[in-house]
Amino acid sequence: MSDYGQAFALMRDAAAGPWRDYTRHAFVEGMKDGTLPRAAFLHYLRQDYLFLVHFSRAWALAVVKSETHSEMLAAVATVNALVTEEMQLHIGICEAEGISGDELFATAERAENLAYTRFVIEAGYSGDLADLLAALVPCVMGYGEIGTRLAGEATSETYRDWIDTYAGEEYQSACRAVGKLLDQALTRRIGADFAASPRWERLCRTFRIATELEASFWQMGLTP
């Protein structure tokens, strides 16, 4: 089992059904056994590039909302990794598939994509760092769990590169760092017993909605 911190584990358990729908979605299982059509994967990749643009903006907002030097450092590292590495990775994969950078930039944002990213950013603007992180972690940690599971269970090599990226130590280490940031941000703002706070229910609700929007994102991936 992944160890991405205490708060994440509690939030995930409070959204067990939606979490399963997300992390075991047909799109994911199709990457596992190689039955996912290439067209669906490429459609997903193009949308995921746009997603990363806004997800990077959301992590930059986490820098703005930081209250300590260590929160700031953790958030800056994530923004940097997203913008200078993960976005470049998508550009590279798409170019290898014959999708030019210009075509990628010009992709029209699908409603499911828009709904997810704007929900996250709005939660961040309207709340504090804890509210923002509750909306950010389902994406970060879900990909981490999916990568780890598929690295063990995959019966096809077709989507091996994607799986290796998220199962890899670099990504897993980022997940643990985000888990630590979440635990510390909640402890700083609410106290060590954060799950007993009146805020907890709302934070879990934010986490659950983001999880449901992740499942919708996979579903969109199946319908190019």
- Report how far residue 39's alpha carbon sits from residue 167's, in angstroms, rounded to the nearest whole number: 23
Q: Which of 89, 122, 151, 176 binds its own copies (CB under 8 A)?
A: 122
Q: Which of 1, 39, 69, 102 binds its own copies (CB under 8 A)?
A: 69
Judged by beta carbon, residue 176 or residue 202, the one nearer its own copies is 202
Q: Which of 9, 10, 14, 114 binds its own copies (CB under 8 A)?
A: 114
Q: What distance, in Å, lies between the first and last C-alpha atoms of the chain?
A: 33
Amino acid at 185: A
- Report how far residue 144's alpha carbon sits from residue 9's, in angstroms, rounded to the nearest whole number: 13
- Report how far residue 173's alpha carbon sits from residue 179's, in angstroms, rounded to the nearest whole number: 10
The 8-class DSSP code of residue 106 comes to T
Q: CB–CB of 101/112 below 8 Å?
A: no
Question: Of 147-155, 156-164, 167-175, 184-192, which part binds its own copies (CB under 8 A)?
Answer: 184-192
Q: Does 56 interact with its own copies (rule: CB under 8 A)?
A: yes
Question: Of 3-11, 15-23, 64-72, 170-178, which part binds its own copies (CB under 8 A)?
Answer: 64-72
Q: Does 105 interact with its own copies (rule: CB under 8 A)?
A: yes
Q: Which of 24, 187, 219, 224 binds its own copies (CB under 8 A)?
A: 187
Q: Which of 10, 29, 188, 222 binds its own copies (CB under 8 A)?
A: 188
Between the CA atoms of 80, 84, 90 and 92, what dihedral angle is there, to the nearest 10 degrees?
-160
Q: Does 32 interact with its own copies (rule: CB under 8 A)?
A: no
Residue 133, helix vs strand vs coil: helix
User: Backbone dihedral region of 196: left (phi > 0), alpha (psi from -120 to 50 degrees) or beta?
Assistant: alpha
Q: Which of 128, 153, 161, 170 binds its own copies (CB under 8 A)?
A: 128
Q: CB–CB of 102/195 below 8 Å?
A: no
| Residues of this chain that bind its own copies (CB under 8 A) | 53, 56-58, 60-61, 63-67, 69, 72-73, 75-76, 79-80, 83-84, 87, 105, 111, 114-115, 118-119, 121-122, 125-128, 131, 187-191, 197-199, 202, 209, 212-213, 216
